Structure 1
């Protein structure tokens, strides 16, 4: 079966996410908490409408599957879903704050180191195997982060905070795979919305009246939340998660490019060298996936030659 459409879907998802800062920066004058409030509320309304109108059969199937599970399994799913929602809300808030009040390149750095940090958390929390090449990649990444912190501690601190929360979210959801991902995300956002609703009257600012705010919010909810999520879920039907993981790096590379050439953020030689180390660590980290096929083809060719001899 041809997989081009699945690769294109995954590529498109991360390509779109790479331009997220273009929708966030124009509303940087608004408090980060306000942006989070409205992003959650509008996302919940939109995703709930999609599920209730277009995915009724899916909801019924998931409910029947959930009802048939043991009490222990149900409890595990509920805990992982609600905990994941709280972690995701923290990630959204910190990322919005970082892009609008620290720097765009700090946000891009977060998602460069996120896959490697995810593996570290998975090693300690889920006891997943960590090979020598991945250990080397983690070490290179630690060196690059140390170099970045020498003169830009704030950037690296917030980058690690964004990366750590998203990595924890991914790790926590790896064991939460029994139910439909889109439905789980909808439940998580509904939980977050109910959780933050009592704080909205006291901690929110004046209700925005500028059309620009709602235009950007519409873009954030539709184009930077729901559309890429749909594309990502569709891509996972035809290609494995490791391949999707490699394509994930499209996002921060575009973000970093925008930071330099569009938002005109200053980058020192030390930062460029550190970012280069991170790119090297990414290649080392994904060595088996990037060079696996070539290596496999070479082994097959050599085996064929030996047989012919």
Structure 2
């Protein structure tokens, strides 16, 4: 349990600071950043697999239909999540990414009920209703649904669910996910470079090195997240997830200068109250004596 908590805190803390990392490449298109992120993440995990001499075990992931489908789904959901996050950060929507990841624990809980048959109390259902109200208020105020926030929450919750259901070895599962996406990403990077539309060559040497390190910046939090998913209940991982959006929200308001209007405060307040209600309900439930 303690190891799982440490892994979860490390992963979410790094994810909270990632907006500062991707803002370094604001001049690059989001698809190009995503391509580099996938390729260098695969290179990083490939080095780890080589050092641990586990290439022979990698094929075991694809021996069953269940694990193969799980890897494909994980690869798709995390790739879409990465793209949306990069695009949002570099288009001044960091606050909306924060809202999305505040919603993520409650979406994860909802998926746990639907797919894992977990039971919720009336107070926990109330928390989900409060979160939906907050999203609705934002949609009414701005005249559109906060699709970036919702898409980020849904894609990452689906990724976490797929990881939970797959039950694969952490390193091999991560290798399989990046391996599935890598050919597409590499092909795209080669294509834009051949067309003269790639921007990698225009970066300074320092930024080139920083972009290459995106493999480690991507893979290590995912590795720690996967470990925490193995060691902790899905609902507890969702609770620790609050670290990431809180960090991103503070960065957006106090460092990146995004406006935090009264309407946004009302919407965020509904989400915060929902999280408090859910957390208190979950804590009270955990304090109840077990029954046979």
TM-score by structure 2 length?
0.85
**1:29 match: secondary structure:** coil
How far does residue 219 in structure 1 lie from its aligned partner after superposition?
A: 4.6
**1:286 match: secondary structure:** helix
Structure 2 residue 78 is matched with structure 1 residue 88 = yes
Unaligned 5+ runs, structure 1:
301-309
What is the aligned counterpart of 1:262 among 251, 255, 272?
255
Q: What is the aligned partner in structure 2 of residue 217 from structure 1?
A: 211
CA distance, structure 2, for counterparts of residue 37 and residue 236 of structure 1: 26
Per-residue CA distance 1:8-44 (angstroms, 9 max, x = gap): 4432322222100010112111000000010000000
Change (3 A) 1:135 1:6: closer
Q: What is the aligned partner in structure 2 of residue 303 from structure 1?
A: none
Q: What is the aligned partner in structure 2 of residue 191 from structure 1?
A: 180
How far does residue 117 in structure 1 lie from its aligned partner after superposition?
A: 1.4
How far does residue 77 in structure 1 lie from its aligned partner after superposition?
A: 1.2
Structure 2 residue 25 is matched with structure 1 residue 27 = yes
Q: What is the aligned partner in structure 1 of residue 169 from structure 2?
A: 180
Change (3 A) 1:182 1:46: same
Q: Which has the larger displacement, 8-17 or 37-46?
A: 8-17
Per-residue CA distance 1:204-242 (angstroms, 9 max, x = gap): 6324132353244245332x3233334445556765444
What is the aligned counterpart of 1:14 among 12, 15, 31?
12
**2:119 match: secondary structure:** coil
CA distance, structure 2, for counterparts of residue 153 and residue 95 of structure 1: 22
Q: What is the aligned partner in structure 2 of residue 39 from structure 1?
A: 37
Q: What is the aligned partner in structure 1 of residue 280 from structure 2?
A: 287
CA distance, structure 2, for counterparts of residue 43 and residue 215 of structure 1: 14
How far does residue 61 in structure 1 lie from its aligned partner after superposition?
A: 5.9
What is the aligned counterpart of 1:145 among 110, 113, 135?
135
| Residues matched between the structures, number | 285
Unaligned 5+ runs, structure 2:
none
CA distance, structure 1, for counterparts of residue 162 and residue 4 of structure 2: 25
CA distance, structure 2, for counterparts of residue 6 and residue 119 of structure 1: 18
What are the equivalent positions in structure 2 for 1:65-144 lying under 5 Å apart? 74-144=64-134
Alignment check: 8 A CA contact 2:252 2:258 kept: yes
Larger Rg: 1
Q: What is the aligned partner in structure 2 of residue 306 from structure 1?
A: none
Alignment check: 8 A CA contact 1:36 1:92 kept: yes
Q: What is the aligned partner in structure 1 of residue 200 from structure 2?
A: 208
Structure 2 residue 235 is matched with structure 1 residue 246 = no
Per-residue CA distance 1:36-90 (angstroms, 9 max, x = gap): 010000000110111111x22x5556766x69xxx7xx01111121122112111
CA distance, structure 1, for counterparts of residue 120 and residue 269 of structure 2: 23
Change (3 A) 1:181 1:230: closer
How far does residue 259 in structure 1 lie from its aligned partner after superposition?
A: 0.3
Change (3 A) 1:203 1:168: farther
Per-residue CA distance 1:137-174 (angstroms, 9 max, x = gap): 11000100011122335671111111111122222332
Change (3 A) 1:61 1:105: same
What is the aligned counterpart of 1:164 among 143, 154, 160?
154
Change (3 A) 1:5 1:170: closer
